[in-house]
Homo-oligomer: A and B are copies of this chain.
Amino acid sequence: MPVLDLWSMAFVFLLATFVGFQVIQNVSRLLHTPLMSLTNAISAIAVVGSIIIAGEEKTTFSTILGTVAVAASMTNIVSGFLITDRMLKMFRQRRPPS
């Protein structure tokens, strides 16, 4: 891990929040339900943190917590992406677009 840099993380947070608001506001209302499940899946990126804790095996305690955390995140990743795609598959345009 790079050396702690509080301020660059604050910058990332600030900018990501701006991106988030702009991007989300442009999401078509039609797709607000899929949006919920997609952001779910994406924020399960938390898995990367848990993986290291589960894998570095520093203490039994941390390994257990890490493993459970990985499982929890993995659940969100799998179900989140699958259900989003399942919903999106259903959206189609009128054949002869009027």
Contacts and interface: CB of A to CB of B under 8 A. Distances in A.
A7 interface: yes
A90 to B, nearest CB: 29
A11 interface: yes
Interface residues of A, number: 14
A12 B8 CA distance: 8
A47 to B, nearest CB: 19
Contacts of A91: none
Contacts of A15: 12, 15-16, 18-19
A30 B29 CA distance: 28
16 contacts: A2-B5, A2-B7, A3-B5, A5-B5, A5-B8, A8-B8, A8-B9, A8-B11, A11-B12, A12-B12, A15-B15, A15-B16, A15-B19, A18-B19, A19-B19, A19-B22
